[in-house]
């Protein structure tokens, strides 16, 4: 139980899936069925996983602005039990929709701004293209954020990473990029979602990030980076090897 705490989830599904051949990946069907025996979509699988946690009260889905793949299409991709109105009922969180922005960060910011009216204490932020997230990881993430205020699941690298020169920095007669630093694999990991944060802090951090974006050209890669810049340390927990993100069509095979 939450002991009076309110916990929300943001599902970021506002992209246009350009690397999927123009087919929006969150609406693609998986080789799985929902509770009513209907084909489960990528987005449906994500929402089902978060709804399975009794500690999640509200789910906000950021959707594209384009009407042909916006809120109506997102609703069609969800099991009907998640489409009722009102607050949490019979253990099922309320599901809200918000138009996304021009970047992932902006889409998350829009969702957080909507959530502000619901006064959550904590929020989990998840990629809509990670349908294989399981309840165990969601619960462990919640347990960790209650202790540390900011947490990100990570998985260790299996290959040796190298830092290389920038795309516009070429060296030698062949004009190639070079290795600039040999990183220790034990000190580097791949970040996953859901990442979780104390709600007032992550909303503040996104507001600061938005102001910085107006002043200079910058691209934030995830919410842990934003928290780290404006709020402080981010704790890590063990992620899941099956919690993969769909990027290309073959990722669904």
Q: What is the pLDDT of residues 101-134, one digit of tens each?
A: 999 999 999 999 999 999 999 999 999 999 999 9
Please report, for the chain, the start and end positions of each structural domain, with discontinuous segments joined by +: 7-156+190-244
* Predicted pLDDT of residue 1: 47
CA distance 107 to 51: 21
CATH number for the domain whose boundaries are 7-156+190-244: 3.90.550.10
- Report the pLDDT averaged over residues 159-178: 76
User: With pLDDT > 90 as the criterion, what percentage of the chain qualifies?
Assistant: 76
- Report the pLDDT averaged over residues 186-212: 97
Structure confidence by residue, pLDDT tens digits, 129-156:
999 999 999 999 999 999 999 999 999 9
First vs last C-alpha separation in the chain: 37
- CA distances to 122, 150, 205 from 200, rounded to whole Å, are 8, 11, 9
- Report the pLDDT averaged over residues 72-80: 95
Judged by average pLDDT, the poorest of 76-85, 161-170, 200-209 is 161-170
CA-nearest of 237, 239, 205, 238 to 222 is 205
Judged by average pLDDT, the poorest of 83-92, 97-106, 112-121, 189-198 is 83-92
- Report the pLDDT averaged over residues 207-228: 95
Q: Show Cβ contacts of residue 120 under 8 Å, excluding neighbours closer than 6 positions.
A: 6, 7, 8, 57, 58, 199
Task: Specify the pTM.
Answer: 0.93
Structural tokens at position 105: 């960060």
- Report the pLDDT averaged over residues 22-47: 89
Structural tokens at position 204: 């503040």
Judged by average pLDDT, the poorest of 16-20, 23-27, 102-106, 237-241 is 16-20
CA-nearest of 93, 130, 125 to 10 is 125
Q: Check whether 65 has a pLDDT greater than 50.
A: yes
Higher confidence at residue 177 or residue 124? 124
- Report the pLDDT averaged over residues 74-100: 92
Structural tokens at position 6: 């309110």
């Amino acid at each position: 139980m939450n002991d009076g705490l309110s916990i929300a989830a943001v599902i970021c599904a506002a992209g246009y899936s350009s690397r999927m051949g123009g087919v929006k990946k969150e609406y693609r069907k998986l080789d799985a069925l929902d509770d009513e025996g209907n084909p489960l979509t990528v987005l449906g699988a994500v929402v089902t996983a978060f709804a399975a946690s009794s500690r999640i009260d509200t789910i906000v889905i950021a959707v594209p602005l384009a009407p042909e793949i916006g809120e109506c299409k997102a609703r069609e991709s969800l099991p009907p039990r998640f489409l009722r109105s009102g607050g949490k009922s019979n253990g099922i969180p309320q599901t809200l929709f918000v138009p996304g922005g021009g970047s992932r960060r902006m889409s998350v910011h829009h969702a957080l701004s909507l959530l502000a009216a619901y006064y959550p204490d904590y929020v989990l932020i998840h990629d809509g293209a990670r349908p294989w997230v399981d309840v165990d990881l969601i619960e462990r993430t919640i347990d960790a954020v209650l202790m540390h205020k900011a947490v990100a699941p990570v998985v260790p690298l299996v290959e040796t990473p190298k830092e290389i020169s920038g795309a516009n920095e070429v060296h030698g007669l062949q004009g190639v990029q070079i290795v600039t630093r040999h990183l220790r694999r034990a000190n580097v990991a791949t970040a996953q979602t859901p990442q979780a944060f104390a709600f007032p802090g992550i909303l503040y951090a996104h507001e600061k990030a938005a102001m910085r974006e107006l002043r200079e050209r910058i691209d934030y890669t995830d919410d842990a980076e934003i928290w780290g810049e404006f709020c402080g340390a981010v704790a890590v927990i063990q992620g899941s090897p099956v919690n993969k993100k769909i990027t290309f069509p073959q990722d669904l095979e």
